[in-house]
Amino acid sequence: MITNRKIPSTKINPTRGGIMKKTILALLTLTLLALGCGENKSDSPAGTSGKEKLAQKFGLTLFEYENGVGPIKEKIQLGEIDQIKAKTGEKLFTEKCTQCHKLDELYTGPALRDVTTRRTPEFILNQILNPEEMTKKHPEAKKLLAAYATQMTFQNVTVDDAKAILEYLRSVNK
């Protein structure tokens, strides 16, 4: 009789779903581990570039060697110059920096008009935010300290202030 026929269940077995989830998680973990190991490999001496070796010589990471030592620990995104921010930066620069820096003359510190050509944005931010550690640890800042025989001091600026000053320095570099 037709009524005795078993109709196959279409319900998803909950235990099977659980196993699937676990398998996917396990696979994800393995993938992440594999990626992690890959990264470690590029740190090994065999893959070390000349610049990395130089950085190591100074006890710095490659990032620190190129971008300074301080609170800015990764590359920042810069777009077109933000003129409003640059105006704020100009005001801050006049208040807090011009007693030691001019744009075009050597003064107590180096001339800064072309500093955005000489240094990375992150290097400039770290120098503004962390000048004392910079002259202790970074070879370029050390050289400047030796040349100018003055230690730049922290001017009580926030990261946003420093970024506004950076915008101003970008705007004057023509």
**Range in contact with ligand HEC (rule: CB under 6 A) among 18-26, 27-35, 58-66, 140-148:** 140-148
Contact between 68 and ligand HEC (CB under 6 A)? no
Residue 144 binds ligand HEC, judged by CB under 6 A:
yes
99 binds ligand HEC (CB under 6 A): yes
Among 69, 72, 86, 157, binds ligand HEC (CB under 6 A): 157
Q: Is 42 in the site for ligand HEC (CB under 6 A)?
A: no
- 100: contact with ligand HEC by CB under 6 A: yes
Count, residues near ligand HEC per rule CB under 6 A: 29
Decide: helix, strand or coil at residue 112: coil
For the stretch 121-124, contacts whose Cβ atoms lie closer than 8 Å and that sit 24 or more positions apart, written own/partner, are: 121/76, 121/78, 121/166, 121/170, 122/66, 122/67, 122/68, 122/72, 122/74, 122/75, 122/76, 123/66, 123/67, 123/68, 124/68, 124/166, 124/169
Question: Closest CB to ligand HEC among 55 and 128?
Answer: 128
**Shortest distance in whole angstroms from residue 105 CB to ligand HEC:** 13
Sequence letter at residue 59: G
115 binds ligand HEC (CB under 6 A): yes
- Which residue matches tokens 């996917």? 24
Q: Is 128 in the site for ligand HEC (CB under 6 A)?
A: yes
How far, CA to CA in Å, does 135 sit from each of 30, 81, 98, 131, 141? 43, 29, 20, 6, 5
Please pick, from the candidates 155, 163, 164, 167, the single residue that binds ligand HEC as defined by CB under 6 A. 155
